[in-house]
Chain A
Amino acid sequence: MPLDLVLPRNSRIKPGKSHKAPAGAKNVKEFHIYRYDPDQKKNPTIDIFEIDLDEIGPMVLDALIKIKDDIDPTLTFRRSCREGICGSCAMCIDGINTLSCLKPIADIKGPVKIYPLPHLEVIKDLVPDVNHLYAQYASIEPWMKNRTPMPKKERLQSPEERDKLDGLWECILCFCCATSCPSYWWNADRYLGPAILLQAARWVLDSRDEEQGSRLDELEDPFKLYRCHTILNCTKACPKGLNPAKAIADLKVLMMERIV
């Protein structure tokens, strides 16, 4: 097949366990959660958990923690800061990639469906393998590069120059954007995707960096940069309200600036 139109046989999802709410619970909500255990050598399943919302905080992460603490300690997910700063708890909730710590349960009608970030290999349950994304991040050399000898004090930047980094430095590398991008799904091996390109723009647009040209050289490629077809799922998904599509467009404009 030219395309992966159906999931491979061992990835197809089957019905899983069902956990009922305790008797007397008044404010019950169903959570349908993707489960996969590599040790079981079985297909992934969807487990159903009924949770009394009166017992937990308002966010989806609160429900996941409740399940892990009180119902099924084998449920596996990443989380750390629980306030949208660390980017660990990115997952696909109600069909949209977002941070579970910032997603109010009240926003979701019907059962809350939770899957790992799409189109990555699943390590266990809601934990995907993001090694390739980190390697792609390393590949853009995300650090200051200068030829001017190291100054005695800090490298200066005008307020206007600093303004150009707004909307870029706030990225927490949760990869909600990259894994919402169909272009990244089909060509992740060669396309850098919105998260890494936004980071690339963050260094290309930093007035203190002196390798703007060689950074653009490295990006000018039919796949690394130009696989972006302005689908804009990235901008829609970003839980920090950033605009990776705009950052990519800025890079394309700079490519044009130096040729046309």
Chain B
Amino acid sequence: MAIMRSALGRARGLGSAKDGFHHWWIERLTAIALVPLTLWFATGVISVAGADYAAFAAWLGKPWNAGLMICFISAAFLHGKMGMEVIVEDYVSPRCLQLSVRILLNLMAFALGIFSIVSVLIVALGG
């Protein structure tokens, strides 16, 4: 298709989405949350490294640990999904492929997040 639209018309394009702050803000909130959560996760996992299932289930069964684990999983999946979305927007240009990858990313992050949280609950509650 020949493009005869003016340069200003193309630069103005579809205008402002009046959105973008929210994505930026949640990315930063989850990043801040992940600093202590990742430290806790690393030290926690090291503390039960090599232990058997019963010892690990007892560790995860403490409300404090189960709660923090669910916080860690939620923040990590949300942050990872949002970061990946920006990367896909930047680097995957065919519109159809970009949208498909974004839909897949959202569904995968949601499903894997729920799956992980349910797993934590089952182990913690001794299922």
**Which of A18-26, A72-80, A93-101, A186-194 participates in binding chain B?**
A186-194
A134 and B8 CA atoms in complex are apart in Å by 8
Interface contact B12-A139, CB-CB below 8 Å: yes
A220 and B92 CA atoms in complex are apart in Å by 22
- Write the chain A residue with the least CB distance to B15: A218
Q: Which B residues touch A138, using CB under 8 A?
A: 8, 11
Question: What class of interface size applies to chain A in its complex with B?
Answer: 20 to 34
**Which of A51-59, A146-154, A221-229 participates in binding chain B?**
A221-229
Most chain A Cβ neighbours within 10 Å, of B15, B16, B92: B16
A217 and B15 CA atoms in complex are apart in Å by 10
**Which of A41-49, A63-71, A163-171, A251-259 participates in binding chain B?**
A251-259
| B20 contact from A3, A132, A220, A260, Cβ within 8 A | A220
B124 CB to closest chain A CB, in angstroms?
A: 34
Interface contact A226-B20, CB-CB below 8 Å: yes
Given the known inter-chain contacts A2-B94, A2-B97, A3-B93, please indicate yes or no for A220 contacting B18, CB distance below 8 A. yes
Asked if B90 lies at the interface with its beta carbon under 8 angstroms from chain A, I say: yes
The total number of A-B Cβ pairs within 8 Å is: 73
A218 and B91 CA atoms in complex are apart in Å by 24
Asked if B23 lies at the interface with its beta carbon under 8 angstroms from chain A, I say: yes
Asked if A183 lies at the interface with its beta carbon under 8 angstroms from chain B, I say: yes
Q: Which A residues touch B8, using CB under 8 A?
A: 135, 138-139
Asked if B17 lies at the interface with its beta carbon under 8 angstroms from chain A, I say: yes
Q: Which A residues touch B20, using CB under 8 A?
A: 220-226
| A221 contact from B7, B11, B19, B93, Cβ within 8 A | B19
Asked if B21 lies at the interface with its beta carbon under 8 angstroms from chain A, I say: yes
| B16 contact from A135, A136, A218, Cβ within 8 A | A218
Asked if A131 lies at the interface with its beta carbon under 8 angstroms from chain B, I say: yes
Interface contact A222-B11, CB-CB below 8 Å: no
| A190 contact from B13, B21, B86, B92, Cβ within 8 A | B13
Interface contact A256-B12, CB-CB below 8 Å: no
Interface contact A259-B21, CB-CB below 8 Å: yes
| A260 contact from B7, B11, B18, B25, Cβ within 8 A | B25
- Write the chain B residue with the least CB distance to A131: B7
Asked if B62 lies at the interface with its beta carbon under 8 angstroms from chain A, I say: no
Interface contact B91-A221, CB-CB below 8 Å: no
Q: Which B residues touch A134, using CB under 8 A?
A: 7
Interface contact A139-B93, CB-CB below 8 Å: no
A219 and B90 CA atoms in complex are apart in Å by 18
Mark each residue of chain A from 225 to 241: 1 if its CB lies under 8 Å from any CB of chain B, else 0: 11101000000000000
Interface contact B94-A132, CB-CB below 8 Å: no
Q: Which A residues touch B94, using CB under 8 A?
A: 2
Instruction: Offer 11 A-B interface pairs, CB within 8 angstroms, sorted by A.
Output: A2-B94, A132-B11, A135-B6, A139-B8, A183-B90, A186-B93, A189-B13, A219-B16, A220-B21, A221-B17, A223-B17
B interface residues, Cβ below 8 angstroms from A: 6-8, 10-13, 15-21, 23-25, 86, 89-94, 97
A interface residues, Cβ below 8 angstroms from B: 2-3, 131-132, 134-136, 138-139, 183, 186-187, 189-190, 217-227, 229, 252, 255-256, 259-260
